[in-house]
A and B are shown apart, each in its own frame.
Chain A
Amino acid sequence: QLQLQESGPGLVKPSETLSLTCTVSGGSISSNNFYWGWIRQPPGKGLEWIGRIFYSGRTYYNPSLKSRGTISVDTSKNQFSLTLKYVTAADTAVYYCARLHGDRWYDVWGQGTTVTVS
């Protein structure tokens, strides 16, 4: 059964860089049928799409991030990662990694990791 697990620091200082990794187990990240993405949810608020990556490295980001975000993939480790530069308190959120089926909808999610910018 496919599982995704986020990891990374829970506390980041303002103006610094947030770095998270998603480890995929129970399946290969190098699949032609799936993309891999990041979504976040500020405390008490709704879901915001951050971006996604294909195993080949092809990416798409939410323009709202204003080019601060980068998603990368390491197929040898079956992992993909998110870095977000110049963070502010507005970046405080639960960050989820998830599998994007057919580049359309998220059918498998990680449990989420809380990142606080302070």
Chain B
Amino acid sequence: DIQMTQSPSSVSASVGDRVTITCRASQGISSWLAWYQQKSGKAPKLLIYAASSLQSGVPSRFSGSGSGTEFTLTISSLQPEDFATYYCQQADSFPLTFGGGTNVEIK
């Protein structure tokens, strides 16, 4: 199985801050990576697919980059509704696997 490692596991930030989350794959996955946002008690929501493509309806302050084994999710200016847990997921091979999550908290 491909292991996905996210860092940091938690980040404290203020409204308006730029936040970057990193996801590393245990082997190369080309651009087969997705990012999800999960708010407490809710289902995950797809933000980014194919490493850098913005899902329809997702604000442009979210962006993704990377290929191979290292990927980043960037929130350019953190908004109050962005405080949540973020997960990466590799889509290169089965079984599909997720990172451990990054909790974005209010500073």
Contacts and interface: CB of A to CB of B under 8 A. Distances in A.
Interface of A: 46-49, 60-64, 96, 98, 101, 104-107, 109-112
A107 B45 CA distance: 7
B101 A46 contact: yes
B98 A105 contact: no
B43 A49 contact: no
B44 A47 contact: yes
B97 A107 contact: no
22 contacts: A46-B101, A47-B36, A47-B87, A47-B98, A47-B101, A49-B95, A60-B95, A62-B95, A63-B1, A63-B95, A101-B49, A104-B32, A104-B91, A105-B89, A106-B34, A106-B89, A107-B46, A109-B43, A109-B44, A109-B45, A111-B42, A111-B43
B43 A46 contact: no
Majority SS at the chain B contact face: loop
Interface in B47-77: 49-50, 55
Given A46-B100, A46-B101, A105 B46 contact: yes
Nearest to A98: B43
B89 to A, nearest CB: 7
Majority SS at the chain A contact face: strand
Q: Which 8 A-B pairs rank lowest in CB-CB distance, beginning with the nearest?
A: A104-B91, A105-B34, A109-B43, A62-B95, A47-B98, A49-B96, A105-B49, A107-B46
Given A104-B34, A104-B91, A49 B46 contact: no
Interface residues of B, number: 23
A47 B95 CA distance: 12
Contacts of B101: 46-47
Contacts of B34: 104-106
A62 B101 CA distance: 20
A47 B101 CA distance: 9
A107 B98 contact: no
A31 B93 CA distance: 22
A55 to B, nearest CB: 18
A85 B104 CA distance: 36
Contacts of A98: 43
